[in-house]
Structure 1
Amino acid sequence: MTLIFLLFACFIAAPTFEAASVQTHKTVLFLHSYHRADWTETIMEGYEAGLQGVAGLATYVEYMDTKKIETAEYLNKLRDIYEMKFAGIRFDVVLASDDNAFHFALRHQTGLFKNTPVVFCGVNRFEEGMTAGRENVVGVLERDDLEETLAFAFRARPGTRTVFVINDNTEASRKHIESLSRIMKTAYPRTALKTMGHLTYTEIMQAMFSLPSESVVLFISLWQDAAGRPISVEETSRVLTASPVPVFGRSGWLIGKGLAGGKCVTGFSQGKAAAGLARHILEGRPTSELPRVLESPNQFFFDHRELKEHGMVSVPLPPGSIVINEPRSFFETNKLVILTTAGVTFGLLAFIVVLAVSLVRLKRTSQQLQARKMELLASQETLSGILSASPSGIVKIKDRVFEWVNDAMCRITGYDENDLVGHDSRFLYPDDEEYERVGRDIYQKGQEESRWVRKDGTVRELLFQVAKTRSDSYIAIITDITERIETARALRESEKLYRSIIEKIQDVFYRYDKNGYL
Structure 2
Amino acid sequence: MVKIIVSFLLFFTCIVHAESQSRIFILHSYSQEYGWTKYQHESFVSTLEHTYGSPLEFSVEYLDTKRHPFTESYQKEFVSYLQKKFEGYYPDAIYVTDDNALKFFIAHRSELFSNVPIFFSGINNLSLVHTLDKKSYTGVYESKNVVKNIELIRQFSPQTRDIWFVGDDSSTYKAIESDIRNQITQYPNYRFHFLSSPRIDDIVAKLPTAPKSFVLLTTIGGLCDATGRNLTLKESISTLEHNPHLILCSMEDTYVMDKVVGGFVTSGKQQGKSAAELVKRYLEGEAVERIDPVIKSPNIYVFDQKALMQARLILSEYIARDSVILHGKRTFFEQHQQAILNGTFILFGVFLLYIVISFFMMLQKNSHIKNIGSELKECSDELSQVKEKLALLEHPDE
Question: TM-score by structure 2 length?
Answer: 0.78
TM-aligned CA distance change 1:372 to 1:341, over 3 Å: farther
Distance in 2 separating the partners of 1:299 and 1:90: 36
Equivalent residues in 2 for 1:243-254, closer than 5 Å: 243-244=243-244, 245-254=246-255
Note if 1:102 corresponds to 2:102.
yes
Q: Deviations over 1:38-65 (max 9, x none)?
A: 1111111012112205544332111112
Q: Whole-Å Cα distance in 2 between the matches of residues 158 and 277 of structure 1?
A: 41
Task: Show the 5 A alignment for 1:401-416.
Answer: none
| CA distance in 2 between partners of 1:91 and 1:354 (Å) | 62
1:332 aligns with 2:329: no
Separation in structure 1 between the aligned mates of residue 300 and residue 146 of structure 2, nearest angstrom: 12
Q: Which residue of the partner structure matches residue 135 of structure 1?
A: 135
Mapped pair 1:298 → 2:294:
no
Which residue is equivalent to 1:448? none
Residue 209 of structure 2: aligned partner = 211
SS of 1:190's partner is coil
Equivalent residues of 1:219, 1:250 under 8 A apart: yes
CA distance in 1, matches of 2:60, 2:73: 22
1:35 corresponds to which letter in structure 2?
S
Letter in 2 for 1:202: D
Match of 1:461 in 2: none
- Give, in whole Å, the separation in 2 of the partners of 1:24 and 1:257: 46
Aligned to 2:190: 191
Q: Which amino acid aligns with 1:41?
A: K
**How do 1:15-164 residues align onto structure 2 when only pairs under 5 Å count?**
25-36=21-32, 37-52=34-49, 55-67=54-66, 68-127=68-127, 128-132=129-133, 134-164=134-164
SS at match of 1:311: coil
CA positional deviation for 1:337:
0.9
Letter in 2 for 1:45: E
Structure 1 counterpart of 2:382: none
**Shift, 1:185, TM fit:** 4.2
Q: Report the Cα offset of residue 186 of structure 1.
A: 2.2
**2:109 partner SS:** coil
Contact 1:33/1:65 (<8 A) preserved: yes
Q: Is the 8 A contact 2:250 2:256 kept in 1?
A: no
1:326 Cα shift? 0.8
With over 3 angstroms needed to count, the CA separation of the structure-2 counterparts of 1:144 and 1:361, relative to structure 1, is same
Give the Cα–Cα distance (whole angstroms) in 1 for the partners of residues 87 and 121 of structure 2. Answer: 25
**Is the 8 Å Cα contact of residues 90 and 114 (structure 1) preserved in structure 2?**
no
Partner of 2:287: 286
Residue 316 of structure 1: CA displacement? Answer: 2.9
Q: Equivalents in 2 of 1:178, 1:150: separation in Å?
A: 16
Amino acid at match of 2:106: L
> Equivalents in 2 of 1:211, 1:73: separation in Å?
42
Alpha-carbon contact 2:170-2:198 (below 8 Å) kept: no
Partner residue in 2 for 1:458:
none
3-state DSSP class of the match of 1:45? helix
Mapped to 2, the partners of 1:58 and 1:198 lie a distance apart of 39
Q: Quote the Cα distance in structure 2 between the aligned partners of 1:30 and 1:40.
A: 11
Q: What is the SS of the residue equivalent to 2:317?
A: coil
Is the Cα–Cα contact under 8 Å of residues 240 and 257 in structure 1 kept in the other structure? no
The residue that corresponds to 1:263 in the other structure is 264
Q: Give the direction of change, closer, same or farther, for the CA distance of 1:353–1:321 in structure 2 (3 Å limit).
A: same
Once the two structures are overlaid, the 10-residue window that deviates more, 23-32 or 213-222, is 23-32
Counterpart CA distance in 1 for 2:212 and 2:189 is 13
Can you give the 5+ residue segments of structure 2 that lack an aligned partner in the other structure?
Answer: 1-17, 376-398
Post-superposition offset of 1:151: 1.0
For the 8 Å contact 1:91–1:116, the answer to whether it is kept is yes
More displaced 10-residue stretch of structure 1: 49-58 or 225-234: 225-234
Unmatched segments (≥5 aa) in structure 1: 1-21, 374-518
Q: Any idea what SS the aligned residue of 2:297 has?
A: coil
Number of residue equivalences: 349
Q: Deviations over 1:20-40 (max 9, x none)?
A: xx9874322101112221111
Equivalent in the alignment of 1:380: none
Q: Which has the bigger relative contact order, CA under 8 A and spacing at least 6?
A: 2
Where 1:196 maps in the other structure, the secondary structure is strand
Residue 302 of structure 1, CA deviation: 0.9
Please report the RMSD computed on the Cα atoms of aligned residues, expressed in angstroms: 2.9
- Note closer, same or farther for the CA distance 1:360–1:90 as it changes in structure 2 (3 Å cut): closer
1:416 aligned partner:
none
Task: Tell me the amino acid that sits aligned with residue 149 of structure 1.
Answer: N
Cα drift, residue 167 of structure 1: 1.1
Describe the SS at the equivalent of 1:221: coil
Distance 1:354 1:54, change over 3 A: closer
Contact 1:240 1:259 in 2 (8 A): no
Equivalent in the alignment of 2:233? 233
1:237 deviates by 2.8
Paired residue secondary structure (1:369): helix
Work out the CA distance in 2 between the residues paired with 1:213 and 1:316. Answer: 26
Partner AA of 1:307 in structure 2: L
Structure 1 CA distance for aligned equivalents of residues 131 and 198 of structure 2: 34
The answer on whether the counterparts of 1:156 and 1:315 sit within 8 Å (CA) in structure 2 is no
Using the aligned pairs only, state the percent identity: 23
What amino acid is aligned across from residue 108 of structure 2 in structure 1? H
Over 3 Å counting, the alpha-carbon distance change for 1:130 and 1:84 in structure 2 is: farther
Between structures 1 and 2, the one with greater helix share: 2
AA at the equivalent of 2:342: T
C-alpha deviation, 1:165, in angstroms: 2.0
Q: Are 2:270 and 1:273 equivalent residues in the alignment?
A: no
Secondary structure, aligned partner of 2:152? helix
**CA deviation profile, 1:102-145 (whole Å, cap 9, x unmatched):** 1221223334221110111111113233214x412111111111
Any conservation in 1 of the 2:144–2:180 contact (CA below 8 Å)? no
Moved more, 110-119 or 176-185: 176-185
Q: What CA distance in whole angstroms lies between the structure 2 residues aligned with 1:345 and 1:83? A: 64
The Cα of 1:79 is off from its aligned counterpart by: 2.3
Give the stretch that moved more between structures: 315-324 or 166-175. Answer: 315-324
Match of 2:364 in 1: 362
2:331 & 2:240 partners in 1: Cα distance? 28
Q: 1:162–1:192: 8 Å Cα contact kept in structure 2?
A: yes
Q: Distance in 2 between the 1:77 and 1:273 partners?
A: 31
Shift of 1:206: 5.9
Q: Is the 8 A contact 2:140 2:295 kept in 1?
A: yes
> How many angstroms does 1:198 deviate by?
4.4
